[in-house]
Amino acid sequence: MPGMTVLSSTSAGAEQASPLLPEALLRRFDAPGPRYTSYPTADRFVEAFGPAECRRALALRGGGAALGGPLSVYVHIPFCESVCYYCACNKVITRHHERATEYLQALDTEIGLVRAALGDGPSASQLVSQLHLGGGSPTFLSDEELGRLLASLRAAFGFTEGAELSIEVDPRTVSAERLAHLRTLGFNRISFGVQDFDPQVQQAVHRVQPFESVKALMVSARELGFASINADLIYGLPQQTPASFARTIAQIGELRPDRLALYAYAHLPQRFKPQRRIDTLQLPSAAQRVEMLGGAIAGLLGRGYTYVGMDHFALPDDPLAVAKREGRLHRNFQGYSTQPDCDLIGLGVSAIGRVGASYHQNAKTLPEYYDALRQGELPVQRGVALVRDDLVRRAVIMALMCQGRVDFESIELAHLMDMRSYFATELQQLAPLAEAGLVEIEPDALQVTATGWYVVRAVAMVFDRYLQTDRQRERFSRMI
């Protein structure tokens, strides 16, 4: 990116010209690292935490022990009609739509078990303020099946007034009429999986969806009154070049979704079988990836988007951008959120939940998921109960990831500890990052700089106790 100046947002949210992001700096952080949608990260979950531990956590919340307000609910729909070669999601490829019948029955059973575990405590603890359907492809379900699922959720939990109901959509599986039905069901936020508009790239990853068809759907979604329209993009895919991805950025700028997620492709064929179909010779080089990222950031900010953090962009008046400016940003398993930090109920195969000071994950395969439910048991297969050190480090990492700043006093008062003595080693390890201009170590705070905000994961990683003792990081996506 010789000669390129990248615009960025400071932690206060003001747009300004930031220092040049040198290629050497970006290459330095072109390495794997956690995305910190949780801490500890999901790879630290253990099988010693199972259904019994999850039931206890749910019972404590239902009994009023948790005062965090309404719930967030995530439902995983694993089915897809065809495989996208880049995909690392938990999915089942099938054209047999009748398989959804058994899955919905299992979800009904799981919803009932969760509701029973919550008990009949304060009604506020049973309400849902945020629902997200992901996958897979949630739109694999028919209109009738989606209606049935929403009815089950509403009957079990109830929704707060103005609740956010979002759904991930494969543009190849919906029409304007289907989008209208989603609105009648109550969905008010929608996310389109775009990834790239270049025909050669689409063919290389086995996901062909012309620009004009996506454009027509976004126009329909806007006319139908969806409160927020999101699009996902991926850089680093086979056949991508800096020039071709710049065209995709220009096209997405024309569509002007309210929010954008810009992800780096993580090529891990040893873990994700579909990726073995990708010709590694067609993957862009590390230098090209850096150029794509720099060009995309400049292109999006030049089109009026605010850089929210890590991989999220939003129009200035979008609630996500407003939350960033006002210091109200939060982070959960779906990424950045405007919703206050709250418990998350994960439903479906492989779904992850958070209740109180614990995380848990359901069985990752359908046979295991179905078998647990047939036995009348929550399908939880692993998880973790957070100890004091986890809670302290989670507070620091989430402050870095969401606000770009850690005020020592707030952490010390909340956790009854002294930051400088507790994190003496970590503060020393931050010195090279401070010298590189990524973070400022103040007497009573840590401040991520405008430049550092682009590699904030690297700053957060310093405080990850598990990562510091385990250098096998290839299981994570790359930071650039």
DSSP-derived secondary structure for 98-159: THHHHHHHHHHHHHHHHHHHHTT--GGGG-EEEEEEEES-GGGS-HHHHHHHHHHHHHHT-E
pLDDT of residue 96: 94
What are phi and psi for residue 270, nearest 5 degrees?
-70, -20
How large is the average pLDDT for residues 381-403?
95
Q: Identify whether the C-beta of residue 201 lies closer than 8 Å to the C-beta of residue 221.
A: no
Q: How confident is the model at residue 120 (pLDDT cuts 50, 70, 90)?
A: confident
Residues present in the chain in total = 480
CATH code given to domain 20-34+388-468? 1.10.10.920
What six digits make up the tokens of 206?
Answer: 């086995």
User: Is residue 27 scored above 80 in pLDDT?
Assistant: no
- The more confident residue out of 309 and 465 is 465
- The more confident residue out of 294 and 22 is 294
Q: What is the DSSP string of 181-198?
A: HHHHHT--EEEEEEE---
Place of tokens 């359907």: 133
Q: How confident is the model at residue 158 (pLDDT cuts 50, 70, 90)?
A: confident
Least confident of 300-304, 339-343, 411-415: 339-343
pLDDT of residue 64: 66
How large is the average pLDDT for residues 265-283?
91
What six digits make up the tokens of 442?
Answer: 């103040």
Q: How confident is the model at residue 11 (pLDDT cuts 50, 70, 90)?
A: very low
Least confident of 121-135, 386-400, 438-452: 121-135
pLDDT of residue 21: 58
Q: How confident is the model at residue 8 (pLDDT cuts 50, 70, 90)?
A: very low
Q: How far apart are CA 188 and CA 454, in angstroms?
A: 30
Q: What is the DSSP string of 312-369?
A: EEE-TTSHHHHHHHTT--EEETTEEESSPS--EEEESTT-EEE-SSEEEEE-SSHHHH
Overall CATH class of domain 42-347? alpha beta
User: Is residue 155 scored above 60 in pLDDT?
Assistant: yes
pLDDT of residue 472: 52
Sequence-distant (6+) residues with CB within 8 A of 376 are 113
Average pLDDT, the chain: 89
| Cis previous bond, 40, omega within 30 | yes
How large is the average pLDDT for residues 320-325?
91
How large is the average pLDDT for residues 126-150?
94
Q: Identify whether the C-beta of residue 450 lies closer than 8 Å to the C-beta of residue 16.
A: yes
Report percent pLDDT > 70 for the chain: 90
Place of tokens 């994700």: 272
Q: Specify the domain boundaries for CATH 3.80.30.20 within the chain.
A: 42-347
Paired strand residues for 167: 133, 190
Query: Is the pTM for the entire model greater than 0.75?
Result: yes
- The more confident residue out of 88 and 125 is 88
At 253, is the secondary structure helix, strand, or coil? Answer: helix
User: Is residue 68 scored above 60 in pLDDT?
Assistant: no
What six digits make up the tokens of 458?
Answer: 């690297």
Q: How confident is the model at residue 62 (pLDDT cuts 50, 70, 90)?
A: confident
Q: How far apart are CA 171 and CA 229, in angstroms?
A: 13
Q: Identify whether the C-beta of residue 428 lies closer than 8 Å to the C-beta of residue 393.
A: no
Sequence-distant (6+) residues with CB within 8 A of 447 are 11, 404, 405, 439, 440
Q: How confident is the model at residue 444 (pLDDT cuts 50, 70, 90)?
A: very high
pLDDT digits (tens, 9 = 90+) for 108-118: 999 999 999 99
At 254, is the secondary structure helix, strand, or coil? Answer: helix
At 6, is the secondary structure helix, strand, or coil? Answer: coil
How large is the average pLDDT for residues 49-64?
91
CA nearest neighbour of 214 among 183, 185, 245, 179: 179
Q: Identify whether the C-beta of residue 152 lies closer than 8 Å to the C-beta of residue 185.
A: no
What six digits make up the tokens of 356?
Answer: 């109180």
Burial of 207 (0-12, 13-18, 19+ CB in 10 A): buried
pLDDT of residue 268: 87
At 416, is the secondary structure helix, strand, or coil? Answer: coil
How large is the average pLDDT for residues 302-306?
94
Strands 312-314 and 259-264, sheet pairing: antiparallel
| Cis previous bond, 136, omega within 30 | yes
Least confident of 72-81, 253-262, 301-310: 301-310
User: Is residue 193 scored above 80 in pLDDT?
Assistant: yes
Query: What is the rounded (10 degree) CA torsion for 318, 319, 321, 323?
Result: 170
How large is the average pLDDT for residues 173-202?
96
Paired strand residues for 309: 312
pLDDT of residue 477: 59
Strands (E), 35-117: 71-77, 79-80, 92-93
- The more confident residue out of 237 and 20 is 237
Q: Specify the domain boundaries for CATH 1.10.10.920 within the chain.
A: 20-34+388-468
pLDDT of residue 26: 67
